[in-house]
């Protein structure tokens, strides 16, 4: 377990000097099976596995759940050890942001839609912390779950535009037995909401089926998804959107890979989910290939 930026950088530099490849899994902790899958994928490919646990205040807006975001360091450490993590990096906020910054990272594209629309500045906070973490860990590969598909698209844009020597590895969304996407925020759901939340993936699959059946009009697909959510849950729809992926541009007809993405508010949790599909409606597991 490492808490110091200086120590983490020294360790990573030593590993690179030995000729080892470094795989990196950035997390905000409260690890679950989705994180474990990322770690396992990293373990298969990299010589050295580094996992960071850092609840990043820069990506939380006013009134969001930074203070109550679930934290359990002992449990996280146990899960990391069980999955073969070589180095667990747990910096404090004061360690990551010791003073007023002289430089900020600002995202220009891919952020005015989906989660970025209702969370201004969120992705600036994401890329700022990742810019630091990529440097600190000397990562060759970084692993992200496709549940946060907009985040991956934004991070891939940063890596490409700023020529980071980091390969972004997307990993398919890990789900509960009933289809609900794994999330640290699922613990906030009431028993009734937890049952309803399992219908979110089915709303996306209803849209997918339309594409499989030959529907090319995005508006018809989105209407079907919205109708399904309203019929089967009491959640409040934040958004139901369809864009090209990973460019996240407007689509007028389904003739390229697209993402159907949703966000639904329950009483104490905002859940997101998505499907990335080709123009035949088939799942796309690696949009960067």
Is 117 one of the annotated binding-site residues?
A: no
Is 35 one of the annotated binding-site residues?
A: yes
Is 183 one of the annotated binding-site residues?
A: yes
Question: What secondary structure letter does DSSP report for 113?
Answer: S
Is 37 one of the annotated binding-site residues?
A: no
- What lies within 8 Å, CB to CB, of 47 at 6+ separation is 15, 20, 21, 22
Phi, psi of 283 (to 5 degrees): -65, 140
Cis bond before residue 125 (omega within 30° of 0): no
Is 77 one of the annotated binding-site residues?
A: no
Is 279 one of the annotated binding-site residues?
A: no
Adjacent-strand bridge partners of 237:
264
Which tokens go with 63? Answer: 């009134």
Is 230 one of the annotated binding-site residues?
A: no
Q: Which residue in the list 20, 35, 135, 279 is annotated as catalytic? A: 35
Is 146 one of the annotated binding-site residues?
A: yes
Count CB neighbours of 263 within 10 A. 22
The DSSP code sequence of 164-186 is -S-EEEEEPPPB-TTSPBP-GGG
Rounded Cα distance, 279 and 94, in Å: 47
Rounded Cα distance, 195 and 201, in Å: 12
Is 63 one of the annotated binding-site residues?
A: no
Residue 124 CA, chain-centre distance (Å), reads 14
Is 143 one of the annotated binding-site residues?
A: no
Is 184 one of the annotated binding-site residues?
A: yes
Is 31 one of the annotated binding-site residues?
A: yes
Look up 6 and say whether it is catalytic.
no
Nearest CA to 133 among 102, 83, 86, 96?
96
Residues annotated in a binding site: 28-35, 59, 145-148, 151, 174, 182-185
Residues annotated in a binding site for (R)-pantoate: 59, 151
The residues that are catalytic are: 35
Residues annotated in a binding site for beta-alanine: 59
């Amino acid at each position: 377990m490492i808490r110091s930026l200086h120590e983490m950088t020294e360790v990573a530099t030593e590993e690179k000097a030995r000729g080892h490849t470094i795989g990196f899994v950035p997390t905000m902790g409260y690890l679950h099976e989705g994180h474990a899958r990322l770690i396992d994928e990293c373990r298969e490919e990299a010589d050295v596995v580094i996992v960071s646990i850092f609840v990043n205040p820069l990506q939380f807006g006013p009134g969001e759940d930074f203070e109550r975001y679930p934290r359990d360091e002992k449990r996280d450490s146990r899960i990391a050890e069980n999955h073969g993590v070589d180095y667990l990096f747990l910096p404090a906020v004061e360690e990551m942001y010791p003073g007023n910054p002289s430089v900020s990272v600002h995202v220009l594209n891919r952020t005015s839609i989906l989660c970025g629309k209702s969370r201004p500045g969120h992705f600036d906070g994401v890329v700022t912390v990742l810019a630091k973490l990529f440097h600190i860990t000397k990562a060759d590969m970084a692993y992200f779950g496709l549940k946060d598909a907009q985040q991956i698209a934004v991070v891939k844009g940063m890596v490409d535009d700023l020529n980071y020597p980091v390969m972004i590895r997307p990993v398919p969304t890990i789900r509960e037995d009933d289809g609900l996407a794994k999330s640290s925020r699922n613990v906030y759901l009431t028993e009734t909401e937890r049952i309803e939340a399992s219908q979110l993936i089915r709303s996306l699959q209803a849209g997918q089926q339309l594409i499989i059946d030959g529907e090319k009009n995005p508006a018809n697909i989105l209407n079907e998804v919205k109708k399904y959510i309203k019929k089967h849950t009491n959640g409040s729809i934040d958004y139901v959107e369809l864009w090209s992926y990973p460019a996240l541009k407007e689509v007028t007809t389904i003739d390229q890979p697209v993402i159907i993405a949703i966000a639904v508010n329950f009483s104490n949790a905002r859940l997101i989910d998505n499907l990335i599909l080709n123009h035949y409606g088939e799942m796309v597991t690696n949009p960067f290939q």
